[in-house]
């Protein structure tokens, strides 16, 4: 095939894909996702460095250095001690699985528990349900209090001799609420339990909110009972998908899960991730966002998202048919409608191109950087049209 024939074939394939995926090329009306379109530079990185593989570090030693710098930056956001260790993962789900894996194995080594159980708040991500199933752990789900935080007294009552660990959430999927991590930390220390915090969403928001003058919860390694924390780069930061990470308090904890790989190019690779092959492009993009675009870029993204969250809250409060379920603490809003169910409302709005989600019994919106005030005005206009149709 000649160069011109190859170029023509290539362009035809791309054109066909643009038609095939034409309805998936825009986030303009997406109000349900915790991800947002990455900046142009990240997209260029995806093209240029598509072949980099962190799973074979001997071949890509400079990318491994960038991974370590990204992890160090995230560890610093979480106030991790100098003994920290960690890894880039495919996202919060894998990180949470690794955290539960470490909790199970750590408890087996340190407490002799062969068949244990793990305690989750009802606000925990579905990845924890998967983790318990995969790891053959019994799970106990703890109800939330009136503030949508895990009920600490109920956690105390649930702990028994088989408990291997507790999970706390810093930025819940459905509400954005952060559990009160400090008393969970105290319980973990008192009972010699593993405490994992899922800060996939909140972990890259709270530190910057604090710089913007907001009061934020203490959710990270400042709490001495916390042994590991999940924190993502493909959410508010806008790095490439997939982009997650897990940070551990010390390497001592990961000794119970680390695996040695001898068949790779350096013959001495050690892994604590579930995945072997890991794309280097997302790490390179995260490094650029954190180190080159920097703090001012991230602060602007978060500031804008929170201003739009306040604006949407105000617009929803103006509608008599709509009731907020909670006062937003992050960029997540939940509301109900007195004219129709959440299911019916979401279906009606989907007919107008809007993608929303349902959590528990309310309609959920996540205000990410691609959601502007102009987008909100258009959404509210369509929402009012739907509501007026039902009158």
Q: pLDDT of 143-181, one tens digit each?
A: 999 999 999 999 999 999 999 999 999 999 999 999 999
N residues, the chain = 391
Specify the residue for token string 């806008």. Answer: 238
Contact 314, 382 (CB under 8 A): no
Give span(s): CATH 3.90.1150.10, the chain.
22-36+295-390
Contact 356, 346 (CB under 8 A): yes
Give span(s): CATH 3.40.640.10, the chain.
43-289
pLDDT in tens, 217-263: 999 999 999 999 999 999 999 999 999 999 999 999 999 999 988 88
Confidence of residue 22 (pLDDT cuts 50, 70, 90): confident
CATH number 3.40.50.720 given to 43-289: no
- Per-residue pLDDT at 254: 97
> Taking 90 as the threshold, does the pLDDT of residue 204 lie above it?
yes
Report the alpha-carbon angle 39-371-326, nearest 5: 130
Q: Which residues contact 52 (CB under 8 A, 6 or more apart)?
A: 60, 63, 279, 280, 281, 284
- Per-residue pLDDT at 265: 80
> Taking 60 as the threshold, does the pLDDT of residue 3 lie above it?
no
Q: Which residues contact 66 (CB under 8 A, 6 or more apart)?
A: 280, 283, 284, 287
- 222 three-state secondary structure: coil
Confidence of residue 267 (pLDDT cuts 50, 70, 90): low
User: On the CB side of 266, how many CA atoms lie within 13 Å of its CA?
Assistant: 13
| CATH code of the domain made up of 22-36+295-390 | 3.90.1150.10
Please give the Cα distance from 366 to 236 (Å, whole number): 11
> Taking 70 as the threshold, does the pLDDT of residue 2 lie above it?
no
Please give the Cα distance from 208 to 356 (Å, whole number): 26
Confidence of residue 78 (pLDDT cuts 50, 70, 90): very high
Residue 168: other Cβ atoms inside 10 A: 31
According to DSSP, residue 178 is labeled B
If we measure between CA atoms, which residue out of 339, 348, 347 comes closest to residue 382?
A: 348
Q: Which residues contact 222 (CB under 8 A, 6 or more apart)?
A: 79
The alpha-carbon radius of gyration of the chain (Å, integer) is: 22
> Taking 70 as the threshold, does the pLDDT of residue 39 lie above it?
yes
pTM, to two decimals: 0.95
If we measure between CA atoms, which residue out of 159, 161, 169 comes closest to residue 128?
A: 169
- Top pLDDT among 390 and 338 is at 338
Confidence of residue 390 (pLDDT cuts 50, 70, 90): low
Contact 58, 262 (CB under 8 A): no
Specify the residue for token string 């007195």. Answer: 338
Can you say how many angstroms the Cα of residue 195 is from the centroid of all Cα atoms in its chain? 18
* Average pLDDT rounded to a whole number, residues 323-330: 97
């Amino acid at each position: 095939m000649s160069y011109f024939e190859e170029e023509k074939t290539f362009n035809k394939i791309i054109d066909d894909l643009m038609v095939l995926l034409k309805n998936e090329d825009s986030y303009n009306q997406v109000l349900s996702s915790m991800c947002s379109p990455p900046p142009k530079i990240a997209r260029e990185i995806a093209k240029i460095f598509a072949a980099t593989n962190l799973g074979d570090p001997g071949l890509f030693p400079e990318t491994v250095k960038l991974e370590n710098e990204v992890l160090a930056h995230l560890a610093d956001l979480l106030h991790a001690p100098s003994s920290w260790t960690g890894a880039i993962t495919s996202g919060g789900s894998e990180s949470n699985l690794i955290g539960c894996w470490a909790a199970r194995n750590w408890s087996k080594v340190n407490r002799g528990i062969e068949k244990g159980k793990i305690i989750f708040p009802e606000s925990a991500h579905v990845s924890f349900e998967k983790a318990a199933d995969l790891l053959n752990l019994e799970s106990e789900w703890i109800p939330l209090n009136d503030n949508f935080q895990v009920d600490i007294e109920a956690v105390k009552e649930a702990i028994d001799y088989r408990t291997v660990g507790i999970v706390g959430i810093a930025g819940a999927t459905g509400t954005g609420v952060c559990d009160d991590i400090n008393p969970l930390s105290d319980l973990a220390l008192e009972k010699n339990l593993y405490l994992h915090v899922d800060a996939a969403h909140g972990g890259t928001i709270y530190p910057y909110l604090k710089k913007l003058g907001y009061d934020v919860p203490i959710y990270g390694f400042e709490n001495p009972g916390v042994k590991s924390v999940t924190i993502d780069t493909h959410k508010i930061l806008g790095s490439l998908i997939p982009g997650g990470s897990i940070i551990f308090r010390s390497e001592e904890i990961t000794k119970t899960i680390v695996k040695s790989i001898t068949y790779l190019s350096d013959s001495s690779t050690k892994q604590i991730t579930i995945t072997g092959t890991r794309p280097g492009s997302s790490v390179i993009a995260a490094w650029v966002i954190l180190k080159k675009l920097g703090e001012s870029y991230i602060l602007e993204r978060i500031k804008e998202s929170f201003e739009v969250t306040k604006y949407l809250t105000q617009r929803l409060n103006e509608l008599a048919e709509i009731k907020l379920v909670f006062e937003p603490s992050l960029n997540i809003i939940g509301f109900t409608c007195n004219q129709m169910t959440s299911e019916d409302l979401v279906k009606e709005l989907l007919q107008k191109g809007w993608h929303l989600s349902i959590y528990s019994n309310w309609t959920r919106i996540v205000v990410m950087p691609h959601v502007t005030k102009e987008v909100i005005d258009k959404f509210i206009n369509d929402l009012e049209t739907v509501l007026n149709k039902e009158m």
